[in-house]
Chains A and B, each alone.
Chain A
Amino acid sequence: MKKPDQDDWEKLEHLVKYLESTKNLPLILSADNSDNIYTYADAAFAVHPDMKSHNGAGLTLGRGFAISISSGQRLNTGSLTTAEIVCVSDILPTTQWIRLFVLAQGLKVKENIIYQDNESSVLLEKNGKTALSGHVISISEHFSSQMQWRKRSAMWYG
């Protein structure tokens, strides 16, 4: 955090009080019978002082998020749609790693599903084409598209 102020201190106090009051709240992790991996991926557009966006993603095998990701993006994007594409590109290696990890345990993986709430991003990722300019964005899209073509991930939107 850069230049924390009084407001940030009050947020920290609020957080500590919340943790104290919920110290008995458990984290329960388990897998359901679907043999699927579900990842919820979302981006908050241009929320940082340098106008970069923020990734939020969680991965579950059925119950509880086994992996939670909350991280700033490393490049500036021109719209929410491109920010969502970058988000999926950023979290794809993690979802693929989990898939390989589960397979290495001798378990099955039917589908590796990524949920998104932006239909435009989903279509761009599926088709691997874009009218938007930008080499980096194109790389992100093609990476997502290639992973999907290999049937390792399915892009869902919601």
Chain B
Amino acid sequence: MAKEECDVVWISRDYMYGDYLTKAQQGAEFVMMRDFIMGVNPFNRG
């Protein structure tokens, strides 16, 4: 980073799919994350 070799780009925490693997999700959030993780709907990256 000191050599400006990396970028930092903000994305919404709504698209933090790692959340799915730390605690139980429910409802629409569960379905959205599941579909992304399973590759059913891969176009929801944020």
Q: Is the CB of A41 within 8 A of B1?
A: no
- Residues of B contacting A43 with CB < 8 Å? 22
Q: Secondary structure at chain A's binding surface: helix, strand, loop or mixed?
A: strand
Q: Is the CB of A149 within 8 A of B21?
A: no
Q: Which of A25-33, A93-101, A130-138 contacts B (4 or more CB under 8 A)?
A: A25-33
Q: List 27 A-B contacts (CB under 8 A).
A: A25-B40, A28-B39, A28-B40, A29-B39, A30-B39, A40-B18, A42-B18, A55-B21, A55-B22, A56-B22, A57-B21, A58-B17, A58-B21, A58-B37, A64-B38, A68-B21, A115-B16, A117-B13, A117-B19, A126-B6, A127-B1, A148-B5, A156-B11, A157-B8, A158-B12, A158-B15, A158-B16
